[in-house]
Amino acid sequence: MLETTRAFLRREMTGRSRAGAILAVLTCPCHAAMLVIVLAGTAVGSWLAAIQAYLYLGFTSVFVFGLWLMVRHSGTSCEIRPPAEHTDRGERDIV
């Protein structure tokens, strides 16, 4: 189990998993609270404070989607062995 976890953590990041990581960092729900505080006293800040529950729901949903993109396995990550070479007699070599 430990080796499987190590192999998972050391795998190469694809473009999709990198995009998921960036999306997760930008939409972390703690950033929604900071956004409301920074924009306090402005029209946008008062609007965000009015819809704060929906803001947290949206940020959390996109955050979870970003985490899913980051940790999921891509279909191309499996190693595919090439087909075995044929001998002159039409038999397959055992690999």
The pLDDT of residue 36 is: 85
Q: Is 52 a domain residue? A: yes
Residue appearing with tokens 């979870």: 64
Is-contact 21 70, C-beta < 8 A?
yes
Q: Is 58 a domain residue? A: yes
Residue type, 35: L
Q: Is 76 a domain residue? A: no
Residue type, 22: I
Q: In this structure, what are the phi and psi dihedrals at residue 15, rounded to the nearest 5 degrees?
A: -60, -35
Question: How many degrees, rounded to 5, is the angle at CA 19 between CA 31 and CA 6?
Answer: 100
- Whether 62 has a pLDDT exceeding 90, the answer reads yes
Q: Is 18 a domain residue? A: no
Is-contact 46 38, C-beta < 8 A?
no
The pLDDT of residue 74 is: 64
pLDDT confidence bin for 6, thresholds 50/70/90? confident
The pLDDT of residue 42 is: 93
Q: Residue 67 sits in which domain range?
A: 29-71
Q: Is 60 a domain residue? A: yes
Q: What is the pTM of this model?
A: 0.63
Q: Is 61 a domain residue? A: yes
The pLDDT of residue 4 is: 78
Q: Is 55 a domain residue? A: yes
Q: Is 62 a domain residue? A: yes
The token pair that represents 25 in the structure block: 């960092």
- The predicted-structure confidence for 8-58, as pLDDT tens digits, reads as follows 667 777 888 889 989 999 999 888 888 888 988 999 989 988 998 999 999
Q: Which of 62, 58, 56 is nearest to 22 (CA)?
A: 62
**How many distinct structural domains can be found in the chain?**
1
